[in-house]
Structure formats: structure tokens, C-alpha cells
């Protein structure tokens, strides 16, 4: 995925550290986002039988912690890739 983004000359970051806090105290790096494109779009990559609510909740949590609005949850195990893409929106 990162190779394709590079080929298309899209700015992106891989394995982006997501910091968490508790009661305004830093907890350090809690998670890592797979890809962030143009500082606007989170892409979370999976290879699972099906996307479950837990995957959507994880993506939404990442969006909230990063202060982003839009994410794509992509399951590369889907028979057709277009059926393995789920759009996730953070209603800031």
C-alpha cells in the first residue's frame, strides 16, 4: 500500500505513533496507525475473515486520538477488495 501511495506521489506516513493520556497525564505510545495520508486520512489495514465491530471501534479510537475525521478500514482478505473497504467517520 505504501509503495502505491509513493508511486502516486501522495504524502504519507507509516506506523504512526499514537500517544494516549489519562487525566491529562501522558501514557506514552499506546498504538500505531498503519498509514496516514496527507495528514488527513487514516488507513487501517487488516487481513481477517470479516471486519467486526471491534475493528471499527479501534479505527474510530485512532481517529479520535489523532484528531482526524476520516478513516478507511481495508480488509485484504475479502474476495473483492471493494467489498473489504469500510469508511469510518469521527464526528469531532
Mean pLDDT of 43-64: 96
pLDDT at 47 over 90: yes
Q: Tell me, what's the pLDDT at 83?
A: 94
Give the model confidence (pLDDT) of 81-90 as tens digits: 999 999 999 9
Give the model confidence (pLDDT) of 65-81 as tens digits: 999 999 999 999 999 99
Tell me the three-class secondary structure of 28-87, residue by residue: EEEEEEEEEECCCEEEEEECCCCCCHHHHHHHHHHHHHHCCCEEEEEECCCCCHHHHEEE
Q: Which grid cell sits at 20? A: 494516549
Predicted TM-score (pTM) of this structure: 0.89
Amino acid at each position: 500500500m505504501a509503495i502505491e501511495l509513493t508511486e502516486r506521489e501522495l504524502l504519507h506516513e507509516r506506523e504512526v505513533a499514537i500517544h494516549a493520556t489519562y487525566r491529562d497525564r501522558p501514557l506514552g505510545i499506546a498504538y500505531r496507525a498503519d498509514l496516514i495520508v496527507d495528514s488527513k486520512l487514516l488507513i487501517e489495514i487488516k487481513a481477517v475473515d470479516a471486519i467486526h465491530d471491534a475493528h471499527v471501534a479501534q479505527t474510530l479510537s485512532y481517529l479520535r486520538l489523532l484528531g482526524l475525521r476520516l478513516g478507511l478500514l481495508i480488509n485484504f482478505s475479502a474476495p473483492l477488495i471493494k467489498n473489504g473497504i469500510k469508511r469510518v467517520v469521527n464526528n469531532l
